[in-house]
């Protein structure tokens, strides 16, 4: 390769939207920038999920979890950048290194850092500000996140590069994962996802005679959240199915047979499950946080944050609406065509090229 050497620091990425961003973006960036060499520093399990792509070198590296990740990363990543002779570095998280031997671009994709007030997030907010001070540019994954985070970070340069969406599969749909009808939630079970609101809404509809239960697809997160959901469903065991984590191929089966997608989060940076569901022609109900309204693009129904009764009303409306399949699929096709990883990669390339050090 005679083009620039571009590094991606993904050590902060483990699950959820960050992992989906990485696995969607990296192959697209290699295609959008064939002259470049793309090197990705990632935890071993995340590195395995990336697979192989022409022009991409994945470097597995173990990293501490919790608060020790940041000082360790600030020591390791500059040295890796120097050894790899990088021309530019993309830091795939709000809080990361504060210096590098080459220009670096900070990617902000965690709204919790700017919305939560607990000690952990205050600490992460300070770390994100320190990363922004050293960055040549800061990228936000949605306009909503930019409005929230930019006044805190005060970046040298700012740009918005929305997430892409995995294209829906073609051919025969996979078999139904379970035999009963269900409403789908795709989320890592953290408290800000407000999964209790989703379960309350589904239980309310079941009391009115609707047959759908709630399926949660997502692993990791907070074990306490899962236990609370189990306790909430004790009086109606059919109301909840915990599917755990699912690889993309298995997730397609859950999307294909769901009656609707529900995402009641009180904080989101983008809302990738909303985009994936809309691209597959699935009815979507989501909270009215700004990022989900942005991602919903007028195609989803939105309920008030934290309002289970309003969520149930919106969900009942889309379940009883029964919109014809052909118009929904045409709308899905247009939505997916406007939100591709190729477009995201091209926009990120433009940002990185603008900060490249002279070769």
Give the model's pLDDT for residue 333: 87
What are 242-270's pLDDT values in tens digits?
A: 999 998 889 999 999 999 999 999 999 99
Query: Confidence class of residue 51 from pLDDT cuts 50, 70 and 90?
Result: confident
pLDDT-derived band at 322, boundaries 50, 70, 90: low
Q: What's the pLDDT at 291?
A: 97
Lowest mean pLDDT among 98-107, 255-264, 291-300, 319-328: 319-328
From residue 168, give the alpha-carbon distance in Å to each of 35, 182, 266, 282.
Answer: 29, 20, 27, 11
Residues 13 and 153 in one domain: yes
pLDDT surpasses 70 at 86:
yes
Mean pLDDT score across all residues of the chain: 93
Q: Are residues 53 and 142 in the same domain?
A: yes
pLDDT in the model for residue 299 = 92
- Looking at residue 228, its pLDDT comes to 97
- The enclosing domain of 217 has a CATH number of 3.40.50.2000
- 253 within a domain of the structure (yes/no): yes
pTM over 0.95: no
Q: Are residues 132 and 64 in the same domain?
A: yes
Q: What is the pLDDT of residue 298?
A: 93
pLDDT at 52: 80
Please tell me whether residues 156 and 224 are part of one structural domain. Answer: no
Q: Is the predicted pLDDT of residue 9 greater than 60, yes or no?
A: yes
* pLDDT higher than threshold 90 for residue 169: no
Task: Look at the alpha carbons of 192, 196, 202, 205 in this order and tell me if their dihedral is positive or negative.
Answer: negative
| Mean pLDDT, range 30-58, rounded to an integer | 92
Number of domains composing the chain: 2
Statement to judge: residues 146 and 199 lie in one domain: no
What residue numbers bound the domain in which 240 lies?
182-338
Residue 14 shares a structural domain with residue 115: yes
Q: Is it the case that residue 1 has pLDDT exceeding 60? A: no
Q: How many helices (DSSP H) and strands (DSSP E) are in the chain? A: 14, 13
What is the spatial distance between Cα 281 and Cα 210, in angstroms, rounded to a whole number? Answer: 21
| Tens of pLDDT, residues 273-287 | 999 999 999 999 999
* C-alpha dihedral sign at 70, 73, 75, 77: negative
Say whether both 130 and 258 belong to one domain: no
CB 25 within 8 A of CB 164: yes
187 and 327 in a single domain? The answer is yes
**29 with 130, same domain?**
yes
The mean pLDDT value for 230-250 works out to 94
**Tell me, what's the pLDDT at 164?**
95
pLDDT at 202: 98
Residue written as tokens 């790899």? 84
In the sheet with 260-263, reading across from the earlier edge strand, the strands are 240-244, 213-217, 182-186, 260-263, 284-287, 301-303
Residue 73 belongs to a domain: yes
Indicate whether 157 and 192 sit together in one domain. no
Structure tokens at 12: 């902060």
pLDDT of 359 > 60? The answer is: no
Residue 170 maps to a domain: no
* Element at 242 (helix H, strand E): strand 240-244
Contact 276, 193 (CB under 8 A): no
| Burial class (CB within 10 angstroms; exposed 0-12, middle 13-18, buried 19+) of 46 | buried
342: helix, strand or coil: helix
């Amino acid at each position: 390769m005679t083009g620039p050497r571009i590094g991606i620091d993904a050590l902060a990425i483990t699950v959820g939207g960050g992992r989906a961003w990485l696995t969607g973006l990296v192959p697209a960036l290699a295609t959008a920038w064939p002259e470049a060499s793309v090197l990705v520093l990632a935890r071993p399990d995340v590195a395995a999920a990336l697979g192989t792509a022409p022009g991409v070198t994945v470097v597995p590296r173990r990293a501490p979890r919790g608060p020790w990740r940041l000082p360790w990363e600030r020591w390791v990543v500059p040295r890796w950048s120097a050894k790899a002779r990088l021309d530019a570095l993309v830091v795939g998280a709000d809080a990361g290194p504060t210096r590098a031997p080459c220009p670096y671009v900070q990617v902000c994709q965690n709204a919790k850092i700017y919305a939560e007030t607990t000690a952990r997030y205050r600490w992460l907010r300070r770390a994100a500000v320190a990363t922004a001070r050293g960055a040549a540019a800061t990228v936000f994954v949605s306009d909503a996140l930019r409005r929230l985070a930019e006044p805190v970070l005060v970046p040298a340069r700012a740009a918005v590069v929305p997430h892409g969406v995995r294209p829906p599969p073609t051919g025969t749909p996979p078999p139904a994962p379970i035999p009963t009808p269900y409403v789908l939630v795709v989320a890592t079970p953290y408290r800000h996802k407000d999964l209790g609101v989703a379960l309350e809404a589904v239980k309310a509809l079941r009391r009115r005679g609707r047959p759908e239960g709630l399926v949660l697809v997502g692993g990791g997160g907070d074990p306490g959240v899962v236990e609370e959901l189990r306790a909430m469903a004790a009086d109606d065991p059919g109301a909840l199915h915990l599917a755990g984590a699912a690889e993309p191929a298995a997730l397609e089966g859950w999307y294909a047979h769901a009656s609707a997608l529900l995402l009641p989060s009180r904080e989101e940076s983008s809302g990738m499950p909303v985009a994936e569901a809309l691209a597959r022609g699935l009815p979507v109900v989501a909270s009215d946080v700004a990022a989900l309204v942005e991602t919903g693009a007028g195609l989803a129904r939105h309920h008030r944050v934290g309002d289970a009764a309003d969520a149930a009303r919106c969900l009942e409306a889309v379940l009883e609406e029964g919109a014809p399949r052909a118009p929904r699929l045409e709308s899905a096709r247009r939505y997916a065509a406007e939100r591709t990883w190729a477009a995201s990669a091209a926009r990120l390339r433009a940002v990185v090229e603008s900060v490249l050090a002279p070769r």
